[in-house]
Structure 1
Amino acid sequence: MTDKPRQLALIFKEIIMKAALLPIAFALTAGAAFAEGPIFVDPPFTSTLSRAEVRAQAVDARDAGLFALGDGVVVVADNAASNGLSRTQVRAEAAEALRLGLHNGGEITVVPTAAQTEQIRTAGLRAVSGDKLVQSGNAVTAN
């Protein structure tokens, strides 16, 4: 009878040892899986322009109204004054377009109807004139 408990203890000890070795085996095989392929190193960059030349080009671009921002995005100088609208009018028109749900978000381009375009224009005129009523086309709109 004394043999049976001893055999069970040995079996139990063997199971515990295997269970303890299992995470170590997984760790060793996972490390080998990540060690594939060579490490790529960029070749050293050598500039053909001096620091002063680069700065001069940046200043020229800024003075010309163009400034590259990466990923091909180019910001052009502020030309809001050329369209004849005041800041107040542009803000009011933007707020009205937003209220109508006509803001472009993501990849969807929203095109307003003729009536919505007129609503936006009228909102800008109301903001500039400060009047409660603004005549738009053949209609009179209340603020």
Structure 2
Amino acid sequence: MKLSTRILVPLAFTLAAGASFAEGPLEGNEVFSSSTQSTLSRAEVRDQAVAARADGLIASGEIQPVQAEQGIGKSRAQVRAELAAARRMGLLAVGEIQPVATPAQSEQIRLAGVRATQVVQK
């Protein structure tokens, strides 16, 4: 008797709770109407898709288009000089606080990098 009450009472509460949260039958065939109208015809959309595929803008399968490599932006000496200038100005992030450089500080950091590349070239 105790075993049946231990099992049946929680089961009854579970079923009652589940039924109280049910909103309605799950059918999956609800129709959602949209009032938006397309400005392009089916043929125009198909032509755009064919052109995009020909240009390589649409990936097929798991193959992603390879982007062209960019040239080298800064030398190692320039990056190190900019880092040292930012460290001197206290603009390196410590913890969760992200310091924001003023335009004047950003220009000083950029000029430190430019000076470093001029020293290397001489």
TM over 0.5: no
Query: TM-score, normalising length from structure 2?
Result: 0.40
Larger RCO: 1 or 2 (CA < 8 Å, sep 6+)? 2
Give the structure with the larger strand fraction: 1
